[in-house]
Amino acid sequence: MTQDINAAASGWDEARPTARLILADGTVIEGRGLGAEGVAAGELCFNTAMTGYQEILTDPSYAGQIITFTFPHIGNVGVNEDDLETVNASGASGVRGAVFAADVTDPSNWRATRGLDAWLKARGIVAIAGVDTRALTALIRDKGMTNAVVGHAPDGALDDAALKAALDGFPGLEGQDLVPLVGATQRYDWDQGSWGWPGHDAPGVYGKRPDGAAKRVVAIDYGLKRNILRLLTSAGCEVTVLPATATAEDVLALDPDGVFLSNGPGDPAATGDYAVPMIKGVLEKKVPTFGICLGHQMLALAVGAKTAKMKQGHHGANHPVKDVDTGKVEIVSMNHGFAVDRDSLPATARETHVSLFDGSNCGIELTDRPAFSVQHHPEASPGPQDSHYLFHRFVELMDRGSGDAGRGSK
Ligand SMILES: NC(=O)CC[C@H](N)C(=O)O
């Protein structure tokens, strides 16, 4: 049955839909197609951020997903070369599709180099506009993230059999290791710092690593975002990125002051084959370690904890998270569909951060090793900068060197 989840003011021709979104429960939503033509199946999630659609669409953690934007006007500021989060040159983030409320109009912004429609097309992202994304989000809220398929045919010739076959063929994210789709395949070095504003009408400039002794950091790429690398650099780190398949020996051969475990897509429990032994090897040597999102989940798995699929997950840029040590609440960027089960944490790991939306675990620290990690995205991009302090906490941990187990052990 076709549901009336269509935005009235979107301007598409209801008699001639050029895109169709079908959910696993059979719900059919029609609209105007944009971006890539064809069919794409994935897990449908919603993101509540009001800005930063380009960073969201290039965040490799979204591989295998179709993103519903709850903010109604997406595309107004176009896209540019600075707001890419994907590190790999192709810009392929693995995002399958996008769902918008209002039609995407021509960009109006001094930074824009291209319109969103053409950019989505170039990246193979199939999109649909004219959807009541509030109603769709309420549906996902009630039923949980669901598998879905989106099809776009400019002539309106949408092939329901092909859509259904793609939907049936999509295995879902649970049990999926998607890191090989988006992670680096080769070692590389990174030395670009944070982007800054020189003035409202001049191009932005990237910072440099501050003068002084640099910390040598090996970053493991499960689907890294550029702003993580930039903030590590700006915090004084000399960063070498290694592929996710790097072994503990590969990492330790570079004699790092610290190891960073990145964000990334898919099910953490399915990513363990190569990741967990590497992390265990690094922890054994007491090398200071910091993890973000998938990196947080992998650190937890490496010490014997468990992760579980969430119902709607957390995808937005205004989530309140409490640092349980300081009592401070930080407003953070979130993007995850799995979470660490706090009850499964070993005695040597303590919870440091908690989501104030649903009480789920958002951070841990090991008490016998110099290692900590957070579920949220302190690099934001998009999002608030409240959690940038964590990059400095990592540097402080490296300053103390191996063997110091962090704040919780003192
Ligand atoms: N942003 C991330 O690193 C996401 C981690 C993991 N893929 C999840 O969905 O929970």
Residue with tokens 């640092």: 323
- Write down the pLDDT at residue 410: 33
242-288 pLDDT tens trace? 999 999 999 999 999 999 999 999 999 999 799 999 999 999 999 99
Q: Does the beta carbon of 266 sit less than 6 angstroms from any atom of ligand 1?
A: yes
Q: Looking at ligand 1, which atom is closest to the CA of residue 267?
A: 7
Taking a C-beta distance cutoff of 8 angstroms, is the pair 45, 145 a contact? yes
Q: Which residue is closest in CA terms to ligand 1's atom 8?
A: 336
Q: Does the beta carbon of 193 sit less than 6 angstroms from any atom of ligand 1?
A: no
Q: Does the beta carbon of 62 sit less than 6 angstroms from any atom of ligand 1?
A: no
Crossing angle between the packed helical segments 294-302 and 272-284, to the nearest 10 degrees: 70
Q: Does the beta carbon of 265 sit less than 6 angstroms from any atom of ligand 1?
A: yes
Is ipTM beyond 0.85? Answer: yes
Burial group, residue 35, by CB count within 10 angstroms (0-12, 13-18, 19+): buried
313-351 pLDDT tens trace? 999 999 999 999 999 999 999 999 999 999 999 999 999
- Write down the pLDDT at residue 409: 38
Tokens for 184, please give them. 């680096």
- Write down the pLDDT at residue 203: 62
Strand partners, 353: 323, 363
Active-site residue numbers? Answer: 293, 377, 379
Q: Which residues are annotated as a binding site?
A: 61, 264, 266, 294, 297, 335, 337-338
Ligand 1 centroid, distance to 69 Cα (angstroms): 18
- Write down the pLDDT at residue 11: 66
Weakly modelled stretches of the chain, pLDDT under 70:
1-11, 89-91, 198-203, 402-410
Q: Looking at ligand 1, which atom is closest to the CA of residue 297?
A: 5
Whole-number Å distance between alpha carbons of 163 and 369 = 49
- Write down the pLDDT at residue 13: 81
Ligand 1 centroid, distance to 174 Cα (angstroms): 12
Instruction: Give the domains, in start order, of the chain with CATH numbers.
Output: 8-169 (3.50.30.20), 179-409 (3.40.50.880)
Q: Report pTM.
A: 0.94
Question: Amino acid identity of 293?
Answer: C
- Write down the pLDDT at residue 407: 44
Q: Which residue is closest in CA terms to ligand 1's atom 5?
A: 294
User: What does the buried/exposed string (b/e) look like for 239-254 if buried means 16 or more CB atoms within 10 Å of the residue's CB?
Assistant: bbbbbbbbebebbbee
Q: Does the beta carbon of 263 sit less than 6 angstroms from any atom of ligand 1?
A: yes
